[in-house]
Amino acid sequence: MIIANAKDFDLQQTFECGQCFRWNKLCDDKYIGVVGDFLMGAYYRDGSIIIECENEQLAKEYFDIEKDYSEMKKRLQCDEVMAKAISAGYGIRLLKQQPWETLVSFIISANNNIPRIKKIIELLCQTFGNEIMKDGVKYHTFPSAEALANVDGDALSAIRCGYRDKYIIDAAKKVATGEVCLDDIYSLPADEGREILKKIKGVGDKVADCILLFAYQKYDVFPKDVWIKKVLHKLYFVAEKDIDLFVRQKFGKLCGLAQQYLFYYGRQTL
Q: What is the pLDDT of residue 195?
A: 98
Closest to 125 measured CA to CA, from 159, 149, 150, 100: 159
Mean pLDDT on 176-193: 97
Please state, for a pLDDT cut of 70, what percent of the chain lies above it. 99
Mean pLDDT on 143-164: 88
Q: State the DSSP code for 89.
A: T
| Beta strands per DSSP E along the chain | 2-3, 23-25, 31-35, 38-45, 48-52, 131-134, 137-140
Domain with CATH 1.10.340.30 in the chain: 99-214
Q: Could you write out the DSSP letters of every residue in 134-189? A: ETTEEEEPPPPHHHHHT--HHHHGGG--TTHHHHHHHHHHHHHHTSS-GGGGGGS-
Neighbours of 170 (CB within 10 A): 18
Residue 47's pLDDT band, with cuts at 50, 70 and 90, is confident
Residues shown for the chain: 270
Burial class of residue 19, CB neighbours in 10 A (0-12, 13-18, 19+): buried
Phi first, then psi, for residue 221 (nearest 5°) are -105, 150
Q: What is the pLDDT of residue 4?
A: 61
Mean pLDDT on 235-254: 96
Q: What is the pLDDT of residue 6?
A: 75
Cβ burial 65-98 (10 Å sphere, 16+ → b, else e): eeeebeebbeebeeeebbebbbebbbbbbbbbbb
Mean pLDDT on 196-219: 97
pTM listed for this prediction: 0.95
Question: Cα(22)–Cα(114) distance, rounded to whole angstroms?
Answer: 11
Domain with CATH 3.30.310.260 in the chain: 2-67
Residue 150's pLDDT band, with cuts at 50, 70 and 90, is confident
CATH of domain 2-67: 3.30.310.260
Residue 160's pLDDT band, with cuts at 50, 70 and 90, is confident
> 132 forms bridges with which residues in the sheet?
139
Residue 25's pLDDT band, with cuts at 50, 70 and 90, is very high
Burial class of residue 134, CB neighbours in 10 A (0-12, 13-18, 19+): exposed
Q: What is the pLDDT of residue 84?
A: 96
Q: What is the pLDDT of residue 167?
A: 95
> 45 forms bridges with which residues in the sheet?
48
Model pLDDT for residues 87-125, shown as the tens digit of each residue = 999 999 999 999 999 999 999 998 889 999 999 999 999
CA dist list (Å): 139 to 17, 21, 205? 23, 14, 32
Mean pLDDT on 159-172: 92
Q: What is the pLDDT of residue 5?
A: 66
Burial class of residue 25, CB neighbours in 10 A (0-12, 13-18, 19+): middle
Mean pLDDT on 222-227: 94
The CATH fold assigned to 99-214 is: Endonuclease III; domain 1 (1.10.340)
List Cβ neighbours of 256 (8 Å cut-off, separation of 6 or more).
94, 213, 218, 219, 220, 221, 222, 223
